[in-house]
A and B are shown apart, each in its own frame.
Chain A
Amino acid sequence: MRTERLVQHLLGLAAACSVAVTVLIFGFMVILGLPLITGGAFFQMFTSPWLPSQAVYGIAPMMVGTVSIAGLALAFSFPVSLGCAALISVLGTGPLPALLHRLVRFMTGIPTVVYGFAGIFVLVPMIREWVGRGSGMCIFSAALLLAVLVAPTMILFFSDSFSSVPKAYLTAADALGATPVQKLFHVVIPCSWRGLITGVVLALGRALGDTLIALMIAGNATAMPGSVLDPARTLTAHIALVVAADFDSLEFRTLFACGIILYVCTTLMVIFTRRVGAVSERRLWRSA
């Protein structure tokens, strides 16, 4: 009884610590970014361009860059991941599913820079030839690579939640004469909403947070991108590029704003996942 209490306390302490660290990091960013907020430049930053020579330190182009690269990556990656996961858990026969599963798990271990190198020497020249102008370093190239990077996260989450659909449901579908594809669309996918959304949000988080791919492939131009074939800079790449600039400068302070935005985005996404997950579960209960 006593050891149980002790373990409970220890675990509670560990949980409190990790919560405290997260909150402290947020506090740290807010405090260091405070000169911006009190200086009145905080909200202006979200709408203005980045022109350090004219002392205008807006991060609007970087926000657009981040959202478009991550969003496009997800749009590329989601259908492929869904298909892959379906093949692994529901549709595949023979040794293929196991092989695919192993491959995907292996992909999670590939360092980002490897994708980055492949991107610079293979993808970027291809895109440049195909587009016929510019450097080939653009939102489109970065999104394609990022799609490959985030796919394993989604595939593993999707296939896990597909596999955890109760066996009885599948047997019932089989008894009704459903084909495997019908089974996938009418039983498996509706039953694993929660896993799907969690997978998508985690992948989105990874896409928003990734630095290296965008830094190496997206071109890092600070101009507002006009199309997906324009170079762009993400918030994370912006932090990496500016972090070494003159400290104490306003330029440097804006980094904390970037950090705050990324932090708030992630928090909102987590809250959203919880909400949607909870709702879909309740609905499932009601219909069951």
Chain B
Amino acid sequence: MLRIGRRFYLIMAISTLALLLACSFPVLAGDLDPFAGDAGTVKISGGTAHIPVMKEAAKQIMQHYPNVRITVAGGGSGVGIKQVGEGLVNIGNSGRKPTDKEIAKYDLKMFKWAIDGVGVVVNPKNPVKALSRAQVKAIFAGRMDNWKAVGGTDKAITIYTRDEASGTRAVFWKKAIDKGDITARANVVVSNGAMKSAVANDPYGIGYVSVGHIDNSVMPVALDGVTPTLETVKNGRYKVARGLFSNTRGEPTGLTKQFIDFLFSQTGQKIAAEKGFVTVN
């Protein structure tokens, strides 16, 4: 059952890549040189916040060196860590730092190539543009269930949250609502993309996504007066942030190492910045 889901992500990823291959993109030639003459496959899965960057990086590499195959699947941070640990993929992405237990069990090597914020979002039609931390806590705990209470229209609030394996959820829970309760009545969606489309389609919805995923379809809500944007995450004023990790089992070698090096190269970091993340180099 789950396999169908994974295969679906895989097919989606591959077909999107194929589509994107048609477009061209300026590349600093030097950063791609290590891939010259290489052939093989790199399998990537895990965190859904990472996907836009992974896809763009894979596209550029495969465009220049068609013998290199890179597949990008989702699944969530938990899936990424588990799959790379069990040797199912070469790189497992996570939107949270793997736990000490996970690092020890799988001998994980972590590579933090960008910093990302997690922002509360509502539908663009919603007049509510700012919430205090206490209000966000009350809303997600289910104690405050009408938009009227926070200055909106007299409508029930629908809450969207992420599944247990989500790194985005882990960071939101820890840093935005101080490990408070998330009501059991909340709808659960399975990726940053699904969260965005759920809130974009629901005029009375509230959820949280990776700042890199915020676009016109959803509206970020200022938390204690600070709007989650690339700028505020970068200068540290917006505190609900986390590293984006790519993990490997043991030291990476061959193509896997080259892919990770590419993420840290000038071109790779440029991609991360374009997709709305704060770069590390």
B56 at the interface (CB under 8 A from A): no
Query: How many residues on the A side are at the interface (Cβ–Cβ under 8 A)?
Result: 41
B104 at the interface (CB under 8 A from A): no
Contact assessment for B184 and A245 in the assembled complex, using a CB-CB cutoff below 8 Å:
no
Of B1, B79, B99, the residue contacting A211 (CB under 8 A) is: B1
Contact assessment for A221 and B198 in the assembled complex, using a CB-CB cutoff below 8 Å:
no
Assuming the contacts A133-B156, A215-B190, A245-B78, asked whether A240 and B183 have C-beta atoms less than 8 A apart, the reply is: no
List A65-114 residues whose CB lies under 8 Å from chain B.
112-113
Of B158, B163, B184, B205, the residue contacting A241 (CB under 8 A) is: B163
Contact assessment for B79 and A231 in the assembled complex, using a CB-CB cutoff below 8 Å:
no
Contact assessment for B2 and A51 in the assembled complex, using a CB-CB cutoff below 8 Å:
no
**A53: B residues at CB distance < 8 A:** 181
Query: How many residues on the B side are at the interface (Cβ–Cβ under 8 A)?
Result: 34
In the assembled complex, the CB of B142 is this many whole angstroms from the nearest CB of chain A, namely: 9
A260 at the interface (CB under 8 A from B): no
A61 to B185, CA, bound (A): 11
List A216-262 residues whose CB lies under 8 Å from chain B.
219-223, 230-231, 233, 236, 239-247, 251
Contact assessment for A51 and B1 in the assembled complex, using a CB-CB cutoff below 8 Å:
no
Of A49, A113, A247, A251, the residue contacting B82 (CB under 8 A) is: A247
In the assembled complex, the CB of B171 is this many whole angstroms from the nearest CB of chain A, namely: 16
Considering only CB atoms, which chain A residue lies closest to B164 in the complex?
A245
Contact assessment for B160 and A135 in the assembled complex, using a CB-CB cutoff below 8 Å:
yes
**B186: A residues at CB distance < 8 A:** 221
Assuming the contacts A135-B205, A136-B202, A247-B82, asked whether A239 and B2 have C-beta atoms less than 8 A apart, the reply is: yes
Contact assessment for A220 and B75 in the assembled complex, using a CB-CB cutoff below 8 Å:
no
In the assembled complex, the CB of B168 is this many whole angstroms from the nearest CB of chain A, namely: 13
Contact assessment for B187 and A220 in the assembled complex, using a CB-CB cutoff below 8 Å:
yes
Contact assessment for B156 and A212 in the assembled complex, using a CB-CB cutoff below 8 Å:
no
Q: Which of A11-19, A121-129, A169-177 contacts B (4 or more CB under 8 A)?
A: A121-129
B68 at the interface (CB under 8 A from A): no
**A120: B residues at CB distance < 8 A:** 197, 201
A40 at the interface (CB under 8 A from B): no
A125 to B197, CA, bound (A): 12
Contact assessment for B163 and A135 in the assembled complex, using a CB-CB cutoff below 8 Å:
no
Assuming the contacts A125-B201, A219-B188, A221-B187, asked whether A244 and B75 have C-beta atoms less than 8 A apart, the reply is: yes
**A124: B residues at CB distance < 8 A:** 201
Assuming the contacts A211-B1, A211-B4, A244-B78, asked whether A231 and B202 have C-beta atoms less than 8 A apart, the reply is: no
Chain A proximity mask over B165-186: 1 for CB below 8 Å, otherwise 0: 1000000000000000101111
**B205: A residues at CB distance < 8 A:** 135
Considering only CB atoms, which chain B residue lies closest to A133 in the complex?
B156
Considering only CB atoms, which chain A residue lies closest to B12 in the complex?
A113
Considering only CB atoms, which chain A residue lies closest to B197 in the complex?
A120
* Extra 14 A-B pairs, beta carbons < 8 Å, given A128-B202, A242-B163, A244-B75: A49-B184, A51-B184, A120-B201, A135-B158, A215-B5, A220-B163, A223-B185, A236-B1, A239-B1, A243-B2, A244-B78, A244-B163, A245-B165, A246-B101
Q: List 10 A-B contacts (CB under 8 A).
A: A49-B184, A211-B1, A211-B5, A221-B187, A223-B183, A233-B188, A239-B1, A240-B5, A242-B164, A245-B165
